[in-house]
Amino acid sequence: MTFATFTNILLMALCVAVLVQSARMMRAFKAIQTGDLGETVKQLDRATAQARTVLAELKDILATDGAASVRTIQSGETLRDELSVMVGIGNAVAERIMDAAASTNAVVAANEPGLPADKPVAKARRRKRGGSSASRTTVAAATPMPAMAEAQ
């Protein structure tokens, strides 16, 4: 089969496809002309009215839900600011505790020559989470510090 024959067959197939599509289009046009064009227009009007109603309802919902979302976001921002202040206070307290522990360790190390100044005297241990709020805090070990043991 030569190239010219192949292209002629391909062109014939495309022409047949165009004829079939043209016949379908002619039937569709005849159906529109003979059909109830007035009924089609009425259905389009009803669909347009329903679309307008739905859009109006969506606009109302968006206005009310948008305002509620803004209030929720504002209360969330307020809570975020309060939590930031609380975290800052907690960090300041933790720094003061660390400074007090360091100064206590320095005093104990000065009084007892066997202990280095940077080694903590009593280690804190962390308990497992759960249960009461008292069990969720970090508490010092049960052994007393050497300076306190001498005072007793």
Instruction: Indicate whether 33 belongs to any domain.
Output: no
Number of continuous H segments (helices) and E segments (strands) in the chain: 3, 2
- pLDDT score for 123: 53
CA distances from 133 to 59, 94, 124, 136 (A): 48, 19, 17, 5
Q: Is the pLDDT of residue 139 over 60?
A: no
Residue range 49-71: mean pLDDT, rounded: 89
Instruction: Indicate whether 76 belongs to any domain.
Output: yes
Instruction: Indicate whether 89 belongs to any domain.
Output: yes
Its pTM stands at 0.36
Amino acid identity of residue 129, one-letter, is R
- pLDDT score for 12: 95
Q: Is the pLDDT of residue 69 over 60?
A: yes
Instruction: Indicate whether 151 belongs to any domain.
Output: no
Instruction: Indicate whether 45 belongs to any domain.
Output: no
Spell out the residues 6+ positions from residue 146 whose beta carbon is closer than 8 angstroms to its own: 108, 112, 115, 121
Q: Is the pLDDT of residue 45 over 60?
A: yes
Instruction: Indicate whether 62 belongs to any domain.
Output: no
Amino acid identity of residue 46, one-letter, is R
Query: 35 or 133, which is more confident?
Result: 35
For 91, the domain range is 70-108
Instruction: Indicate whether 142 belongs to any domain.
Output: no
Instruction: Indicate whether 90 belongs to any domain.
Output: yes
Query: Are the beta carbons of 127 and 139 closer than 8 angstroms?
Result: yes
Low-confidence winner among 8-17, 49-58, 96-105, 113-122 (lowest mean pLDDT):
113-122
Going along the chain, which residue ranges are E strands?
Answer: 124-125, 139-140
Tally the domains of the chain. 1
pLDDT band at 11 (very low <50, low <70, confident <90, very high): very high
- pLDDT score for 129: 55
